[in-house]
Structure 1
Amino acid sequence: MNKGGKAFWLAVIFLTALPFVAFSAPAAPATTPAKSTSTTKALVVGIYESPPFCTKMPDGQWTGLSVELWKTVAHSLNLRYHWSEYEFHDLLKAVANGDIDAAIGPISVTADREVIMDFTHPYYVSDLAIAVPAKDSFYPWGEVAREFMTVAWLKLIIILIIMLTLSGFAVWWFERHQNHAQFGGPWRHGLGSAFWWAAVTMSGVGYGDKTPITVPGRAIALVWMFISVITVALVTGSVTSAVVANRVVYRIHSPSDLGRAHVAVLNGSTAEQYALLTRIDYSIYSTVLDGLQAVLKREVDACLANEVQLRYITQQQFRRKLEILPFTFQREDCSFALPNNSPLKESLNRAILTEVESDHWRAIRAQYLGKDG
């Protein structure tokens, strides 16, 4: 075979084998995208009304110490998110069940909570404190007065006036001729004396300057005295009950006094846990604001809650009506809460530590808590 024939057959063999070589070659590995801190899915961040940490504005926007920290951290990590509002007790359940990706606010780290959820590094340290009525508002006479400004009391007063008028008129009618010196004379003078007698008899004073002398007059006087004794006793009891019900019956001076008091606590809070463990009589409320209003209404003796919240709300809404006792106890490390094994924890921790060491964070604290915050 000449050289031209060999070249021809080599070309044929090469072209025939080429498809098999192409199909048998290993496929190129797929390109792996680089890791990123950004999320394609918007995170659901639970939040609850807890000024000055989380405050909902009239336009629906959220602001506050915790909110500003989360916004800064989320921006640095390129996180997309939206708020989901809860009451505090339900917020803890949501994060423990994994219904939300994170929860913010003054959520304190405890051993019991650590079992069912995770926490970031603390960003603020506070304590529990006690709010009580201010000394100059210890006796709420305005509240007592409102107790008597009701339809029931108005009816009672009208009935008493009618009874006093009838008894006075009856005594005058029977005494005006035979007891002329005390109930006689012109009818205006006689009736006036009779009404005066009925009033002093009902009050229990009984000056003795007017005394019936006829049998019918004395019979009426006897019945009126019995009615007056019963009426005065009922009225006195009602007034006493109103005064007692609308004042703090036990004055708190220090945490040691809580054992004999009835306090308000936030539902699901560490304050509730403290009250339960120390056997303090307590009632639960949905917000710290509700608890403080209960103190003002004398439904409870004091409100036990986060010191920062108590001071902030008191200064904003209850100045000179409520006061915070100069005692704190049980440290509270405020953190963001996460579901167990959350992939966000490490990146959030690094971002939080970076932020809380910055001048920007000190400026935010001063904005919401003052220079000493």
Structure 2
Amino acid sequence: MIRPRLLISSLSAVMVVLISGAAPLLAKPLKVGVTGTPPFVTKTGSGFSGISVDVWREVAEENKLTYELIPQESPDEGIRAVDSEAIDLLVGPISITPRRLAIPDVNFTQPYFFAKAGVLVPKSPPTLFSRLQVFFGRAVISSVVVLIGVLAAVGTLVWLAERHRNEEAFPKPAVAGISSGMWFALVTLTTVGYGDKAPVTRMGRTITSIWMVMSLIAVSSLTASLASAFTLFLSGAADTPITSAKDLAQRRVAVIQGTSGIRLAESGNMNQVAARNLAAAIEMVNQGQVDAMIFDRPAIRYYLKQNPEMKVKLAPFTLAEETYGFAFKTGSQLNTPLDVSILKLQRNGTVEKLTSQQLD
């Protein structure tokens, strides 16, 4: 027969063990990473606000969790912090993508928000002047300047070698002689071969032979610069409006570093232009530096609502469905409590109420 005092002592010991096992989750403040843009995450003077932060606060309050908010540069950086256990949880508009789900030691909560990836485009197509600007870029101008300098150098050397014995083709006066030398160098470069001027001295022919070989490199460099400019002129800056996802192929599209938009641009065969944040990416579209931008549609709508003077608009199509959740370490005790709380908040209308307050 078990004595009552012994039974009470045993039960007390079991309770101590159970409480000590649960203590780290409840007693120790969680390190919660925060990343995202308004209206989901907004940095304020006293901390953070926004849809994602408000949903987290409701979840934390229901589970009586204490925590500290730690800003993260991007969703990808925050997920790496969760993976390395630098933080316990990542809060924000974190898209649950196949690539992120494939990370073995990172898990996600039940989605708390369903969104779409949107495309931002200029309100009006680029002008002829803006399209011609690609031919005045640094690469094209530097190639032309170098080419003129090389032609002048080769023309001068040929003139110095030929002026005494080949005065008819390369006159002795410097201006006329060097001009003739540059003309000869240009004809040789383009392989036109008029034959109106040709070296007759051994030195002149040696210089010409060297130039023939060098001209192959010069032509390749100039051709690459011009081909790049023509590609941007004919495709990236064309007047054709962007009305579907296929119209983005081969176009210059701004993507924000560390976001799921990078994978969407890769799958759509777009020419990516990296931006630090949402404001910088939208400004690229506004200034005509890119043809479009990819980001979450609710965040774009919110930004345009706050900045109505921007000469940009949302395209009439979306690229993909997005589901937002919170990220945490696989095997964490947070898994079930967070999922249950998020489902409760969705069913009782709290998430919808928090969302409408920010987006409407």
**TM-score per shorter chain, which class?**
0.5 to 0.7
1:70 aligns with 2:70: no
Match of 1:249? 237
Rounded Cα–Cα distance in structure 1 between residues aligned with 2:54 and 2:129? 42
Q: Find the partner of 1:87 among 60, 73, 93.
A: 73
SS of equivalent residue, structure 1 residue 99: coil
User: Which residue type is aligned with residue 120 of structure 1?
Assistant: T
Cα deviation digits, residues 319-371 of structure 1 (max 9, x gap): 4521001101211111111122221011000001001112333221110111x
Task: Report how many residues are paired.
Answer: 243
Is the 8 Å Cα contact of residues 49 and 56 (structure 1) preserved in structure 2?
no
Rounded Cα–Cα distance in structure 2 between residues aligned with 1:70 and 1:264? 30
Match of 2:32? 45
Rounded Cα–Cα distance in structure 2 between residues aligned with 1:342 and 1:310? 33
Cα deviation digits, residues 47-90 of structure 1 (max 9, x gap): 12411100112x14211110110000000000001111111132
Q: Aligned-pair distance for 1:279?
A: 2.1
Cα deviation digits, residues 93-114 of structure 1 (max 9, x gap): 1122221111111111122211
Match of 1:129? 118
Q: Find the partner of 1:102 among 60, 73, 89.
A: 89
State percent identity of aligned pairs: 27
Match of 2:100? 113
Match of 1:355? 345
Cα deviation digits, residues 147-194 of structure 1 (max 9, x gap): xxxxxxxxxxxxxxxxxxxxxxxxxxxxxxxxxxxxxxxxxxxxxxxx
Change (3 A) 1:352 1:132: same
Rounded Cα–Cα distance in structure 2 between residues aligned with 1:297 and 1:320? 10
Is the 8 Å Cα contact of residues 35 and 93 (structure 2) preserved in structure 1?
no
| Correspondence 1:255-274 to 2 at 5 A | 255-274=245-264
1:369 aligns with 2:359: yes
User: Which residue type is aligned with residue 301 of structure 1?
Assistant: D
Change (3 A) 1:313 1:27: closer
Match of 2:282? 292
Structure 2 residues without counterparts, runs of 5 or longer: 1-5, 133-228
User: Which residue type is aligned with residue 249 of structure 1?
Assistant: A
Rounded Cα–Cα distance in structure 2 between residues aligned with 1:310 and 1:263? 15
| Correspondence 1:50-65 to 2 at 5 A | 50-57=37-44, 59-65=45-51
Rounded Cα–Cα distance in structure 2 between residues aligned with 1:75 and 1:367? 20
Structure 1 residues without counterparts, runs of 5 or longer: 1-24, 145-240
Rounded Cα–Cα distance in structure 2 between residues aligned with 1:109 and 1:121? 10
User: Which residue type is aligned with residue 49 of structure 2?
Assistant: T
1:336 aligns with 2:326: yes
Rounded Cα–Cα distance in structure 1 between residues aligned with 2:69 and 2:120? 30
Is the 8 Å Cα contact of residues 126 and 237 (structure 2) preserved in structure 1?
no
- Please give the TM-score of this superposition, normalised by the length of structure 2: 0.62
Is the 8 Å Cα contact of residues 112 and 351 (structure 2) preserved in structure 1?
no
Cα deviation digits, residues 279-320 of structure 1 (max 9, x gap): 211022232222112212222111111111111112212445
Q: Find the partner of 1:315 among 284, 305, 324.
A: 305
- Please give the TM-score of this superposition, normalised by the length of structure 1: 0.60
Change (3 A) 1:139 1:367: farther
Rounded Cα–Cα distance in structure 2 between residues aligned with 1:356 and 1:141? 52
SS of equivalent residue, structure 1 residue 325: strand
Larger Rg: 1
Question: What's the RMSD between the two structures over aligned residues?
Answer: 2.8
Is the 8 Å Cα contact of residues 49 and 287 (structure 1) preserved in structure 2?
no
SS of equivalent residue, structure 1 residue 305: strand
Rounded Cα–Cα distance in structure 2 between residues aligned with 1:96 and 1:339? 6
